[in-house]
């Protein structure tokens, strides 16, 4: 297997030898935008053409040129686009986008949020497929290459999903198109359960609603009612900031979550929730595994949780996961136990 340095050297050769990509690269250098890179299809498709003996430009619909300008107004970006319309060659067309303002329109187009990018490289890290996440630019006479996930997938002719965002539909659509143009390409399927760490930019209203759906079966069964009823999306975000939020998704939607926070020598696991439509798929176990890893990362000795007295089935599930009962507690105003405390040593 080639090293990344060898892959980068080979990619630089392909860029220089490909007339379509080289022309765009030299035009982009002359255009002189801040933090600019030619990215994605124009790069990895050119590699695939070179590796499979196809003509330069085969399968390339357009050339994506990213730049980063803190001015997030549409007016500023539109001026750049209009200027580029007379600067770049028309075939294939060059699509110019300011990565500083992508988060302003991304949710309306794709249905989920992404962070406000810090620079163009940060944007590459959130591409639909790890295979797409490559950029090139000229620095004088040298070719600079940025590939946050490496170049093994590109040179291995593999479409590898980037599971940090809910981009499964796009990954699958792009993979299907790639297979028609480069039959040699291997499609790596999106995993059915992906666990990620919740971030401040995630949609906390969606997360709160997911927990509400998961907890809906408790309504009328537990007394007092769940504290969830009084929690706003902002409360969820605040609680997550005090510890760690762990989210599960299937590439299309969030499917589960758990909120964790340190408590003495334990990591307290709360609001463990799996969307009712996705239960019995291993999501709860995956979330608990991630909580265990988080506890170990923090150097904590055990996991701790509480479950309501009335929810006998929950208690049985946690016992199967290796938890043991260590006590009972009562909510304020109750003269009987309302919750069971359970722990699991790590």
Provide the H-helix boundaries in 18-73: 19-31, 41-52
> For the whole model, what pTM was predicted?
0.91
Q: How confident is the model at residue 338 (pLDDT cuts 50, 70, 90)?
A: very high
Dihedral angle, C-alpha 101, 190, 273, 282, nearest 10 °: -170
Output the DSSP codes for 275-296.
Answer: -GGGTTSSHHHHHHHHHHHHHH
CB 328 within 8 A of CB 340: yes
Question: How high is the pLDDT of residue 69?
Answer: 98
Cα 7 from chain centroid? Answer: 25
Q: 3-class SS at 322?
A: coil
pLDDT band at 2 (very low <50, low <70, confident <90, very high): confident
Give the SS3 label for residue 247. strand
Quote the CA–CA distance of 221 and 33 in Å, as a whole number. 61
Copy the structure tokens of residue 158: 């593999």
Quote the percentage of the chain above a pLDDT of 90: 95
Give dist(CA 193, CA 281) in Å, integer.
8
Say what the pLDDT of residue 146 is. Answer: 96
Q: Is the dihedral of CA 19, 21, 23, 29 positive or negative?
A: negative
Instruction: Report the pLDDT value the prediction gives residue 229, as an integer from 0 to 100.
Output: 87
Q: Please report the pLDDT score of residue 235 as a whole number.
A: 93
CB 334 within 8 A of CB 298: no
Tokens representing 87 are: 């600067």
CA distance 290 to 163: 15
Using an 8 Å Cβ cutoff, are 306 and 344 in contact? no
Tokens 């340190």 belong to 262
Spatial separation of the C-alpha atoms in residues 317 and 287, rounded to whole Å? 14
C-alpha angle with apex 205: 199 to 210, nearest 5 degrees?
95
CB 201 within 8 A of CB 116: yes
Rg of the chain taking only CA atoms, in angstroms: 25
**255-300 residue pLDDT tens:** 999 999 999 999 999 999 999 999 999 999 999 999 999 999 999 9
């Amino acid at each position: 297997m080639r090293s990344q340095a060898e892959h980068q050297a080979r990619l630089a050769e392909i860029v220089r030898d490909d007339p379509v990509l080289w022309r765009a690269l030299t035009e982009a250098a002359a255009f002189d935008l801040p933090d600019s890179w030619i990215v994605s299809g124009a790069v990895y498709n050119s590699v695939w053409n070179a590796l499979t003996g196809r003509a330069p430009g085969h399968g390339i619909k357009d050339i994506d040129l990213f730049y980063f300008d803190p001015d997030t107004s549409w007016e500023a970006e539109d001026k750049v686009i209009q200027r580029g319309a007379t600067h770049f060659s028309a075939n294939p067309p060059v699509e110019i986008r300011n990565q500083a303002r992508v988060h302003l329109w991304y949710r309306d187009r794709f249905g989920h949020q992404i962070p406000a990018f810090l620079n163009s490289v940060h944007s590459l890290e959130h591409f639909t497929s790890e295979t797409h996440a490559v950029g090139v630019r000229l620095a004088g006479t040298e070719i600079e290459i940025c590939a946050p996930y490496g170049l093994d997938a590109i040179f291995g002719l593999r479409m590898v999903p980037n599971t940090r965002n809910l981009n499964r539909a796009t990954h699958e659509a792009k993979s299907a198109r790639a297979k028609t143009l480069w039959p040699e390409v291997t499609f790596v399927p999106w995993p059915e359960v992906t666990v990620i760490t919740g971030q401040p930019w995630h949609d906390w209203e969606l997360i709160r609603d997911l927990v509400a759906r998961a907890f809906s079966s408790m309504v009328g069964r537990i007394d007092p009612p769940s504290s969830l009823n009084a929690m706003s999306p902002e409360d969820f975000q605040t609680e997550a900031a005090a510890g760690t939020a762990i989210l599960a998704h299937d590439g299309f939607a969030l499917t589960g979550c758990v909120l964790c926070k340190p408590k003495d020598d334990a990591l307290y696991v709360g609001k463990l929730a799996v969307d009712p439509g996705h239960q019995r798929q291993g999501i709860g176990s995956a979330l608990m595994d991630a909580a265990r890893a988080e506890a170990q990362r923090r150097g904590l000795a055990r996991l701790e949780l509480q479950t309501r007295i009335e929810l006998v089935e929950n208690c049985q599930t946690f016992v199967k996961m290796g938890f043991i009962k260590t006590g009972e507690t009562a909510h304020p105003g109750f003269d009987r136990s309302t919750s069971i405390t359970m722990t699991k040593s790590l």
